[in-house]
Amino acid sequence: MKSLSVRLARGAAVAACLGGMFAPAQTTTPPFPVPAQSQAQQKDPTPNQTTKQTRGQVIFSRSTDENGETTTQEGPAAQPSAHPTRAPTAQDAERQAMTYTAFDMDVHLRPADHQIAARAIMTVRNDGKIPLAHLPMQISSSLNWERIRIAGRDALYQVALLNSDADHTGQLREATVSLAAPLAPGASLEVDATYSGPIESTARRLLSIGTPAEMALHSDWDQIDTAFTGLRGFGNVVWYPVSSIPALLGDGAKLFDEMGEHKLRMAPARFRMRLTVEFPAGQVPTIAVINGHPAPLTIESPGSGEVAGVATAQSESAELGFNAPSLFVAIRKPHPGDNLTAWTTPDNEVNVQLWTDATARVTPFLQGWLGQRPRAQLTLLDLPDPADAPFESGALLATSLHDGAPEQLEDAMAHALTHAWMQSPRAWLSEGVAHFMGTLWIEKQHGRDKALASLAVGRDALSIAEPPSPGEGSGQPLGLATAPVYYRTKAAYVFWMLRDIVGDATLSAALRAYDPLQDTGPQTPPSLFERLLEQAGARRDLKWFFADWVDADRGLPDLTVDSVYPSAAEAGNWLIAVNVSNSGYVTAEVPVTVRTFDSSVTQRVRVPGRSSVTQRIIIQGRPSEVQVNDGTVPETEAAVHLTHIQETAAPAQ
């Protein structure tokens, strides 16, 4: 059994990972009450039973059994649509085969009671190799399935609890739907599901692995509440139907891999939502954000006394991209600025100027690289507590807008504002460019060495994740990457390498010309971004680079300086022969620099995988050292190779 200190350390590390992004008793879920003007016509429901009526006829009935499971009936003759069970009946192969391709959702929030009720009309596709007889669908364990219909008819389904840390409760409530006819591979069908229940702040999953309570609560802050509703989606709280393989924290990177797989599979899905929010009189929500995009709120009724007000919003159908569906509703004060709007709590209004000043300093730098105008305004949403872990989704940054040192705020805004300029359904472009621009901002402020040191922070993790050879694992090609160490860390390295290969002007031109609307659907080489780079500037052939670093994953290079041979030439010149070998499987183009005591010469050399090359460089004056790679190319081991020539020099000829 692990010691308490080990469990606490592991829990703290997991909480940090979740915050950087990312069997309880069953509960009875009360529905939303009918409007106040109709309550006089209703009879009090019996314990554990809820009934909806119209014109004296029961049209919808829900009751809860002794195990806490709900049964739904339509009309007096309807049959139960759910058969509760204690053991899951779905198989992982079925969960993995099912892909959601479209969501059309009606979501009703009652924040004062922490309640959500939703109807989701979904299109699902069988991406497996055999017909599906069952459809497994999961929601947070705090929610209850109400009704599931297929082809206009109530479907039979069984309900079970799964242990899975994809939700902050540590469990998912899975409905396994029995199909009248198996769903053939590649075929799709429409599913109409309703569900409801409370979503309150809980850190149960993190506390169970020993995470300190304060850290756990500030990582798992998802909840429905009057002043702030934040639902970050799969990996934090499963407020919309999903189909996933159960994964637990502490089981290696399984949960984080499943989170990435979920976003990748859902990326092409189209998502539409109609939102209704009931709020206590005088507590009117001012901001709604759906999937990272602000959705203007319409106040249908302001409410008065004990009568709740009603606000509505909607999002039009759009592709999700590499983002889990998310929903935020809050009472915040807007502070418009150049390229952003900050929505603050009263406590942080005084700090808005600090954030807008940081934005003003960073903006000209981003304009120089990415163009004059961003594709969207950045939304800064103030989180309830200064210690809450930040969250970003597209051009949304949810973080505490506390005061901070100008340098810290500038670093944060360089990354966040990049998402407003560079929006892509490809994770390696969206996240990779944002991470790249963040390191370029460090270079601008503190120099290249500091920027490369910042980049190198993630190199060890990347080296561990990469397979030693293509034969020992497929790795993750950037176009299909699901782990942040690939689509963020490795992608940032890719942009640094491209910068050195094609130059700042060409890379900037490609970034400016990139249009996410033209980059949809499955990606086949050459990618849109590769074509843009080849068309800009010197029109260089980059097939070798994209083949090794983007379209496939051949691991990392492993360079060695085998020998250095200097020899004196005429007029004080020296000729240095540098022999470099690459025991990795990926081609690397690296800078080779020869230095004297007062000058240096740098040339680039391309070293194919499993081979070696000799580079000859002429320099004025006696050479003192040779450097191969400067940290811009990630390697399995060291990323900078220094050789002092005095120790290896051959006699001058």
Close Cβ partners of 556 (under 8 Å, ≥ 6 residues apart): 462, 463, 466, 584, 586, 634, 635, 636
400 with 478, same domain? no
Do both 179 and 306 map to the same domain?
yes
pLDDT greater than 80 at residue 366:
yes
635: in domain: yes
Last residue of one domain, picked from the residues 549, 582, 613: 549
What pLDDT, in 10s, does the model give residues 117-171? 999 999 999 999 999 999 999 999 999 999 999 999 999 999 999 999 999 999 9
Task: Look at residue 449 and tell me if it is in a domain.
Answer: yes
Tell me the CA distances in angstroms from 473 to 548, 611, 637, one per residue in order: 15, 21, 19
Residue 535 domain flag: yes
In sequence order, the β-bridge partners of residue 163 are: 171
User: Is residue 81 in some structural domain?
Assistant: no
Q: Is 83 a member of any domain?
A: no
pLDDT > 70: percent of the chain: 86
Domain range for residue 395?
333-421
CA dihedral 409, 414, 416, 422 (to 10 degrees): 170
d(CA 200, CA 229): 10
Taking CA atoms, 516 is separated from 293, 363, 423, 520, in Å, by 16, 21, 6, 7
DSSP bridge pairs for 279: 309
Regarding whether 495 and 465 lie in a shared domain, the answer is yes
Are 441 and 455 spatial neighbours (Cβ–Cβ below 8 Å)? no
Same-domain check for residues 581 and 595: yes
148 occurs within a structural domain: yes
> What whole-number distance in Å separates Cα of residue 111 and Cα of residue 99?
31
pLDDT by residue (tens digit) across 483-498? 999 999 999 999 999 9
What does the pLDDT read at residue 504? 97
C-alpha distances out from residue 239 to 137, 230, 232, 236, 371, Å: 12, 11, 9, 9, 37
List Cβ neighbours of 596 (8 Å cut-off, separation of 6 or more).
619, 620, 621, 622, 623, 624
Q: Which pLDDT band, with edges at 50, 70 and 90, does 19 fall under?
A: low
Does 322 lie in the same domain as 263? yes
Same domain membership, residue 112 and residue 55: yes
Torsion angle defined by CA atoms of residues 510, 515, 518 and 519, in that order, rounded to the nearest 10 degrees:
70
Query: Which of the four pLDDT bands, split at 50, 70 and 90, describes residue 51?
Result: very low
544 and 584 assigned to the same domain: no
Both 472 and 542 in one domain: the answer is yes
User: Residue 252 is encoded by which pair of tokens?
Assistant: 């290696």
Given 330, 348, 365, the domain boundary residue is 330
Residue 429 lies in a domain: no
Shared-domain flag, residues 337 and 302: no
Quick one: average pLDDT of 294-311? 95
Burial of 209 (0-12, 13-18, 19+ CB in 10 A): buried
Q: Domain check: are 200 and 117 in the same one?
A: yes
In whole angstroms, give the CA distance from residue 574 to residue 555: 36
Single residue among 527, 549, 571 that ends a domain in this structure: 549
Instruction: Give me the CATH number covering residue 188.
Output: 2.60.40.1730
Give the total number of structural domains in the chain.
4
Question: Residue 80 domain-assigned?
Answer: no
Model pLDDT, residue 462? 95
Q: 397 and 508: one domain?
A: no
Q: Please say whether the beta carbons of 398 and 240 come within 8 A.
A: no
Same domain for 354 and 290: no
pLDDT at residue 27, as a whole number: 29
Q: What is the CA 60 to chain-centroid distance, rounded? A: 38
